Chain A
């Protein structure tokens, strides 16, 4: 564990912050941390105020709960209510608002929702309750996709026929491409996610860096990882280059985890999908491949996820796109607080609004 302590050394942090401030120039540099875990780590480390005036860190769309559209929640509720399915979900999803309700509220009135810690637990649950269809709410990015795919394959091998997945799996580079090309957002560098990169490899960001000329650095989640990643982004900007660099080389490689990638390719097929607050991003979703159709809850139970761009006062979409900071949303901290969230960014433990609210109020 001393190894981890090396990534938390206060003296090194101080030196890095000084270097960042030196390299930043006059106007604050607009960098985006794509991943929700980075958002939380930045908030927990009290890093944002330390960079004030030099770097503006924008929170990106990399919180799986935040970008799940309300139509998905509505479909999940319908699967339980209208099809009698037993829902198995990660706990984070329970309080996410759908159009008119949430899984937590429905659970209070009799909808059966079990919190599980891995997709495989849902297969075990299905095997133990053969008279009920168990639907796993498969939400996540490239990090969770192999585990969801593995659960589907396990159910197929074991002959667990009452198990299916309502897939809402997304891929990050496509969303980064959309934000990179948005003139309103003006991102000058991406701090790329650590866990996702371990799966997809750092080369996956090359199209973003090369097509849009935006520097990319893959960084770990420790305070020094983040500060070093930011410093590397500023160095690229200073040198006028835009390439992919890897601060997280102790775990992530250029080509990623090939086994996990094969598993994803076997079970899923890329598709267009809707992101809450952002809209439909071509090729950014993973639907279940036809050969695994018996495990696709949408097809099996006939309740599709309908995506419609919601029009509400909630500005989670602009937060997810880096157009505004959470504190700029008129609902933040007033109509929208963690106990009574209006939008998903306030629900998830990885949501940027929740992180600002929880760690920011000084």
Chain B
């Protein structure tokens, strides 16, 4: 086998076959994928089906605490989980750049295998394309996932009521700060690990256990908690009020944000969820979240209030301010 991806690995001939049989199949061996039919035959699936897709283009592909492979699986598993669905099967589309080292590909595949195993999802079909050198960024992964709704739960922003509590399953911004540091162009060293993790095991058991109490869930990825809450408030036509003193941020992440002038509220997370829950169930749900390794720092961060829509923040100084959508990416301040 070559130690680099060649254009011929994507041309459909013997090299393509070798890549699939000798590399990819080694990591994704399972009864649905391995016959290599043109589609993965999933058999009968009972329940309400959820379906999602996403593309992963992170640079660099490996960063402290994770990599593009783990990200690709967790992103899809989490999109299903916050809709109340357990991931059953997913696809893996690889777009590889000519010259990519085989070692990087294999590390990404191993990470996908391990994350899929953790989340209990089968990688059921796939596709591999090779683009010319300079026309990609090493490795891109696209995934689509099929899940089954747990306990018949459906996201229902219309069920959100004044008094409901806003919960966050852990600290903000770890993923984006880890990636920024890994890019090495900020000349900052800080011990920050990405939070990338599959959340099905954390979130889905809540639904039968706290029946009717979990109103709505979202995973605050790109745009962070700030954008996600704005979208949730808009969907619910509700007024969310956050408490600045309750927002969980890791000290190291806060330090990086201080230096660069970033707001952790708008930084991406890949292993966190925002939940809107009934007030009387908020404390028990936080306690349940904290029993799980991915929910240890879960916290109530605010509440739904009467009147108007949008997101507000009660500040530490005792004031109130708007929490709006950001325009474009956050950039380090000039001075």
Contact = CB atoms under 8 A, between A and B. Distances in A.
A216 interface: no
B255 A49 contact: no
A359 B316 contact: no
Interface string A79-117: 000000000001110010000000000000000000111
Contact of A360 (B245, B321, B335): B321
A50 B317 contact: yes
Interface in B289-334: 312-322, 324, 326-334
Nearest to A346: B327
Interface of B: 185-187, 245, 251, 254-255, 258, 261, 263, 312-322, 324, 326-335
A139 B322 contact: no
Contacts of B251: 1
A37 interface: yes
B327 A339 contact: yes
Contact of B335 (A13, A14, A64, A223): A64
A313 interface: no
15 contacts: A1-B251, A4-B254, A9-B316, A45-B315, A45-B321, A46-B313, A50-B319, A117-B185, A117-B187, A144-B334, A144-B335, A223-B317, A224-B317, A359-B322, A361-B324
A66 B263 CA distance: 21
B309 to A, nearest CB: 12
Nearest to A43: B321
A153 B317 CA distance: 43
Interface of B is mostly: loop
B319 A49 contact: yes
Contact of B185 (A90, A121, A338, A357): A121
Interface in A117-157: 117-118, 121, 139-141, 143-144
Given A144-B335, A196-B335, A350-B333, A359 B324 contact: yes
A17 interface: yes
Contacts of A282: none
Interface string A192-224: 000110000000000000000000000000011
Interface string A349-362: 11000000111111
Contacts of B324: 357-359, 361
Nearest to B245: A10
B335 A140 contact: yes
A141 B186 CA distance: 20
B335 A44 contact: no
B235 to A, nearest CB: 19
Contacts of B329: 91
A281 interface: no
A58 interface: no
Contacts of B317: 8, 10, 13, 17, 45-47, 50, 223-224, 227
A101 B318 CA distance: 41
Contacts of B321: 43-46, 359-360, 362
A252 interface: no
**Max chain A Cβ within 10 angstroms of own Cβ: one of B185, B258, B332, B334:** B334
A65 interface: yes
Contacts of A48: 319
A349 B333 contact: yes
Interface string A217-251: 00000011001000000000000000000000000
Top-7 shortest CB links A-B: A46-B319, A143-B335, A91-B331, A46-B321, A223-B317, A338-B327, A46-B315
A10 B333 CA distance: 27
B331 A92 contact: yes
Interface string A176-203: 0000000000000000000110000000
A46 B241 CA distance: 13
A349 B331 contact: yes
Contacts of B313: 46
A1 B258 CA distance: 11
A361 B322 contact: yes
B77 to A, nearest CB: 33
A45 B318 CA distance: 8
A45 B316 contact: yes
Given A64-B335, A223-B316, 8 more contacts: A1-B251, A10-B318, A13-B316, A45-B321, A91-B329, A117-B185, A117-B187, A143-B335
Nearest to A227: B317
Nearest to B260: A117
A13 B331 CA distance: 29
Contacts of A140: 334-335
A195 B334 CA distance: 11
A50 B326 CA distance: 24
A280 B154 CA distance: 62
Nearest to A340: B327
A65 B329 CA distance: 17
Q: Which of B312, B324, B327, B330 has the most CB of A within 10 A?
A: B327
A49 B322 CA distance: 12
A188 B313 CA distance: 31
Nearest to A44: B321
A273 B186 CA distance: 31
Contacts of B315: 44-47, 223
Contacts of B326: 358
A350 to B, nearest CB: 6
B234 to A, nearest CB: 14
Contacts of B187: 117-118
Contacts of B254: 1, 4
A70 to B, nearest CB: 18
A282 to B, nearest CB: 22
Given A117-B185, A121-B185, A362 B320 contact: yes
